[in-house]
């Protein structure tokens, strides 16, 4: 890999975030969320899900680095 994983992961999310936002907007304006409870549940899943996916990349990178370190010794 020519660049750091962190840089590539952040660039990926800069591309993915607007697409994710577009899908969220499409669902929000579709009329499928009929009550405030549906809206809260929707955002309670979408926002933490996006953050969890973003952070999981760094967990995976750290585990990979640890495995590479242990296999080289």
pTM of the predicted model as reported, rounded to 2 decimal places: 0.74
How far does the chain reach from its first CA to its final CA, in angstroms?
A: 21
Contact 42, 27 (CB under 8 A): yes
Amino acid 39: pLDDT: 95
pLDDT tens for the chain, 73 residues long, are 567 888 888 999 999 999 999 999 999 999 999 999 999 999 999 999 999 999 998 998 899 888 888 887 6
The answer as to whether 73 is a domain residue is yes
Give the domain extent around 49. 44-73
Residue 70 lies in a domain: yes
18 occurs within a structural domain: no
Rounded Cα distance, 43 and 53, in Å: 15
Q: How many domains does the chain have?
A: 1
> Is 55 inside any structural domain?
yes
pLDDT of residue 1: 59
Query: Do the domain assignments include residue 59?
Result: yes
């Amino acid at each position: 890999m020519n660049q750091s994983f962190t840089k590539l992961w952040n660039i990926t999310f800069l591309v993915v975030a607007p697409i994710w936002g577009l899908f969220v907007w499409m669902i929000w304006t579709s009329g499928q969320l009929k009550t405030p409870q549906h809206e809260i549940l929707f955002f309670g899943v979408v926002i933490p899900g996006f953050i969890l996916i973003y952070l999981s990349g760094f967990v995976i990178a750290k585990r990979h680095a640890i495995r590479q370190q242990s296999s080289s010794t």
